[in-house]
Structure 1
Amino acid sequence: MKPILLIFDLDDTLVHSRMDFITLGRWIKEQILQKNLTRLSADELSTMSVSQMLKLVEEYDRVKGTSHGRDLWGKVEETEYQGMMQATVEAGAGEVLQQLQARGFILTVLTNNSRKTADTVLRRFGLVDFFEQVVTRDEVEELKPHPAGILLIKNQYVSKVSSIYYIGDSWIDGEAAQAAGVSFIGFNLDREEVPMVTHVSNLGELLDFFHQVSLPG
């Protein structure tokens, strides 16, 4: 029996940073509009994630030969790292990951955070050794909701596992999973936001969902 691969989001799934994504997104939108970096309206930008807005700026830079994206990413990295330094770990995360690992699951992480941030916070809370692989924005060309990161992991394991699940707290996680052809488990996420096979309100509920899965043999 082949094992099951679980891919976890990081922020607001395994850990909880103090990063204010709403304020950051609003600031980036204002910078884009003030500097006329897109023809999109404020309302259109408001429907986009931070990574999607930054993608627009990077495309503008390529055409115009400017470096606005670098400046905005600098602000993102500063805000992200400061938020993660004040992070807390999701209740029971270590115990649940330990049990899943003992039952033969392959555990990985996919996050839009930087390598520096992801490694720092996973080590801080003693979670890093549970994961066979951690993929950050530094290893992919497109960020969630693009499926590139999930596909990177999926393509490495697809022949070795019986099924693949992505666990995340945001619509961008659900859209990325759907586009990659991977089952999505919503974590404290409105069931109506994106298609999902199940919803959990704490990590311990994953053990109940997968209660029929045993060690591969």
Structure 2
Amino acid sequence: MMIKGIVFDMDNTLLHSSIDFGAMKREIYTFLCDHRLLPAGLSLDLHTTSTVIAEAMNTGLLSEELSSEMWDIAKKHEIQGMIGAHLEEGSMELIQQLHGQLHLVIVTNNALEAAMSALNENGVAHYFDLIIGREAMGSLKPAPDGYLQVLKHFSHTSPKEWLSVGDAWVDGKASESAGMPFIAYRGDGAKMNSMDVAPFAQIQDIREVLGFLQPLGKD
């Protein structure tokens, strides 16, 4: 099928940020343990921040007040890590070339405020037709909610008319669950394999996306 749109992850796909995801995950997990929402001894190596949060939400015990405090922890790390965030090499060139030809979307687990701040600072927010932060999702990646929101917004398109580009297994799992072909950008192949994510392509330079957009990719 002719590709009509691309969904990009943000952190370490379009933008190179310094968010300490490990510290975020540990602080949120400690907070949830302290409030007896999760048991001690959870294997954090098998989890991301979003899956730790999902575990807590699945208990049905997360009050609105505790939920707000939990998200404040995440937002603190995001805002701090977005300070001085810069575009990945080739991102601006790719975005400018595709702008006006395809639907361009970002789906990020970050708070929309933190995402927009970094995107505006780098002068790229206006190139995107839709930017979905965590507030618009029922569940974060690896759940497909954000990508399903994209399909709902662009209701004239089908999943196979999109490409999804991201660096992490959660991006791939969410994309595949929504039916979108996934391209791994500088991804950890072993980790993706262990999480049953099978990218149809792996790239090292973001501009390689053009090669999957024939005839757009032709010189």
TM-score (norm 1): 0.87
Residues 191/128 of structure 1: CA separation in 2 closer, same or farther (3 Å cut): same
**Conserved? CA contact 2:163–2:182, under 8 Å:** yes
User: Higher relative contact order by CA 8 Å / sep ≥ 6: 1 or 2?
Assistant: 1
Question: Deviation of residue 84 (structure 1)?
Answer: 0.5
Q: Which residue of 2 aligns with 1:108?
A: 105
Question: Deviation of residue 211 (structure 1)?
Answer: 4.2
| Residue from 173, 197, 200 that aligns with 1:197 | 200
2:148 maps to 1:145: no
Residues 4/65 of structure 1: CA separation in 2 closer, same or farther (3 Å cut): closer
| Residue from 206, 210, 215 that aligns with 2:213 | 210
Q: Which moved more, 1:167-176 or 1:202-211?
A: 202-211
Q: Which runs of 5+ in 1 are unaligned?
A: none
* 1:76-116, Cα deviation, whole Å (9 max, x unpaired): 111101111121211121111111225x2211111111111
Q: Which runs of 5+ in 2 are unaligned?
A: none
Residues 2/156 of structure 1: CA separation in 2 closer, same or farther (3 Å cut): farther
2:14 maps to 1:11: no
**Cα root mean square deviation, aligned:** 2.4
| Residue from 80, 86, 93 that aligns with 2:78 | 80
* Identical positions, percent: 27
Question: Deviation of residue 3 (structure 1)?
Answer: 5.1
Q: Which residue of 1 aligns with 2:30?
A: 30
SS at the partner of 2:189? coil
Q: Which residue of 2 aligns with 1:49?
A: 48
* 1:4-42, Cα deviation, whole Å (9 max, x unpaired): 210001111110111110122122223333442224742
| Residue from 93, 96, 100 that aligns with 1:95 | 93
**Conserved? CA contact 2:38–2:55, under 8 Å:** yes
Opposite residue 30 of structure 1, the aligned amino acid is T
TM-score (norm 2): 0.86
Partners of 1:4 and 1:65 in 2: CA distance: 41
Q: Which moved more, 1:147-156 or 1:158-167?
A: 158-167
